[in-house]
A and B are shown apart, each in its own frame.
Chain A
Amino acid sequence: MEIVMAFVCGFLFMAAVYLILSRSLLRIIIGTGLLSHGAHLLILTMGSFKGTVPPVLSDGVTDFADPLPQALILTAIVISFGVTAFFLVLAYRAYSELKTDDMSLMRGSEENE
């Protein structure tokens, strides 16, 4: 199971890197979304899939899944949600001010404003 998940994570990272290297800003943001999916799935995988029961205390059950990675993922999800929301609004603002979403046109310094 871990092997399959490792391939899935790897595929997500591959797609994320490909999208982040593209020119359109929205593709880049989709890429960061895939990147955080890959990272979250990787935490779950690295915590291993030994337990079979959700980590909720109940009588007569001992075979719990590791609760720690789930807490880490929950934290990482809300953080990446906050950052993505900010990034999307920034992209919208940049589009309305700079009139482009092409990253290769967004270079330059003070002189060629």
Chain B
Amino acid sequence: MSNFLLLPIIIPFFFAMLLLFGQKNIAYQRITTLLGLVISIICAIGLVSNVYMDGPQTVTLGNWPAPFGITMMGDMVASVLMLTTLVISLFIVWYGFGSIGKEREQFFYYPGIMFIITGVNGAFTTGDIFNLFVFFEVLLMASYLLIVLGGEKAQLRESIKYILVNVISSALFVVAVAYLYSVVGTLSMADISLKIAEINQPGIITVIAVLFLLVFGMKAAIFPLYFWLPSAYSAPPIPVLALFGALLTKVGVYAITRTYTLFFTHDLSYTHELLLILAVVTIIAGCIGALAHFDVKQIIIYNIIIAVGVILFGVAQMNEVALQGAFVYLIHDMIIKAALFMLIGIVIYVTGTSNLRKMGGLIQTYPTLGWFFLIAGFGLVGVPPLSGFVGKLLIIQGGFIAGNTWSTLVVLASSIIVLLSVMRIFIYAFWGEQGQLSTDVQKRKYNRMFIPTMLLVILSIFYGIGAEWLNPFMSDAAKILMDPSIYTDAVMKGGE
């Protein structure tokens, strides 16, 4: 039995504990964080190649047989998501050196990041529904710390709302697990899947499916449950915002994907139809928000909501093409959202404002920043050679295959709105008359923020160009999402 699967969870956890010591020594904090992330990335790459060679990896902790112990399950979906999480975190941490500020660095900013990564990676890998709840709490507790760290008035005000929403959704998660336990009598995700298939999803399981959609939808910000996100995400500083925007809602999206492809697959006409409708309304709501605001942060924040809708639209189709598209788009969106938040962080730094109306003419003073923003913006929209194209193409293809013509056209049309919203930032901030410029821009600090951003944008370009090369990984992931028996076989066999 190989414990290799656990390394991308254990290493960040171990380094987070190391970072609790020596909190005032910034050099030690930075070097240890980077070291931990690099080691975990190497392990995650090893894990992806293991999964690619030998199929899904499982570890059942403590040698208990499969449904009785806690199983950790590393399939292609989980391992690629873990790798993306770690790579993005590395760039965001590097970016934070220039912008987060000394006070925050001395008060457990880095341990907070490492604990958040522990929770996110654990949530991606776990094969036990209650263990998923625990890992959700690990990442939420760390996110409470990061959202309030600094103690500005806006942060205090918004973090109260953020914590309240998450406390309620966590209580609902516990309730949903309790209901599910009373029906199927097990907590292992593979075993739940088998038991639900045996009883062929009676009405009560459909009710629980909707309850799970409510719980994870509150984390992932789908349509009627996204109200908390725009104000909560505007409070923390940019590196924290980039981390949240890239990782946290995506964990909710992953949890919906997992439960709706593994458990609740027998009453598609109700559960997946509901998911489809909510996804489309989420896209529309996000589009309205992205056009309504003249604040760069808010525009990108509403683009998170649009992307969540697009991914869940792909999941709701339940065919292999759309599921592969959803997965490709999920990875793309994690990378590009981190890059965009980092870019607008630099724009806010050099102009000293987040209000678009006060900006202008930045292309004369910061041409490279402008062109990289343009590339990232096109990548977000999905202009062909760039990263957003393949995922959205597959999602739309899957939508037409499933026969949902009108809703697919809405998804397609949303790309135009996304294009309009990012181009508005580009036109207002970079073209035209010279607008407001911050007086104390230090060249060194600017470079420190710009280099990791530039590398992340270049990475997203490679993700788009190398789509053919990545295809075997992505279609592996789509297969396991499409066919739950691969998952259940791997877990049940791995426990023997």
Contact = CB atoms under 8 A, between A and B. Distances in A.
Contact of B171 (A35, A107, A109): A35
A93 B151 contact: yes
B156 A94 contact: yes
Query: Which secondary structure dominates chain B's binding surface?
Result: helix
A67 to B, nearest CB: 12
B141 A82 contact: yes
A113 B153 contact: yes
Chain A contact-residue range equals: 35 or more
Instruction: Please provide the 3 A-B residue pairs with the shortest distance between their CB atoms, ordered closest to farther.
Output: A46-B182, A46-B178, A39-B174
Contacts of B144: 83, 86, 90
Interface in B54-84: none
B116 interface: no
Nearest to B159: A90
Interface in A38-56: 38-40, 42-43, 45-48
A68 B191 CA distance: 16
Nearest to A9: B175
B119 to A, nearest CB: 12
Contacts of A97: 151, 153, 156
Contact of B156 (A36, A42, A98): A98
Nearest to A25: B160
Interface string B362-387: 00000000000000000000000000
A59 interface: no
Interface in B143-172: 144, 148, 151, 153-154, 156-157, 159-160, 163-164, 167-168, 170-171
Given A79-B134, A113-B154, A94 B160 contact: yes
Interface residues of B, number: 32
Contacts of B205: none
Nearest to B148: A90
15 contacts: A47-B182, A72-B130, A75-B134, A80-B170, A83-B137, A83-B167, A86-B141, A86-B144, A87-B160, A90-B148, A90-B160, A94-B157, A97-B153, A97-B156, A108-B157
A72 B163 contact: no
B163 A20 contact: no
Interface in A76-100: 76, 79-80, 82-83, 86-87, 90-91, 93-94, 97-98
Given A32-B167, A36-B167, A40-B174, 16 more contacts: A20-B168, A35-B167, A42-B174, A42-B175, A47-B178, A72-B178, A75-B130, A76-B174, A79-B134, A83-B137, A83-B140, A86-B144, A90-B159, A98-B157, A109-B234, A110-B234
A83 B175 CA distance: 17
B210 interface: no
Interface of B: 130, 133-134, 137, 140-141, 144, 148, 151, 153-154, 156-157, 159-160, 163-164, 167-168, 170-171, 174-175, 177-179, 181-182, 187, 231, 234, 354
A14 interface: no
A48 B160 CA distance: 36
A27 to B, nearest CB: 12
A78 B194 CA distance: 31
B171 A28 contact: no
B157 to A, nearest CB: 5
Contact of B179 (A38, A40, A46, A113): A46
A4 interface: no
Nearest to A75: B134
Contacts of B234: 109-110
B154 A39 contact: no
A68 B187 contact: yes
Contacts of A36: 167, 171, 174
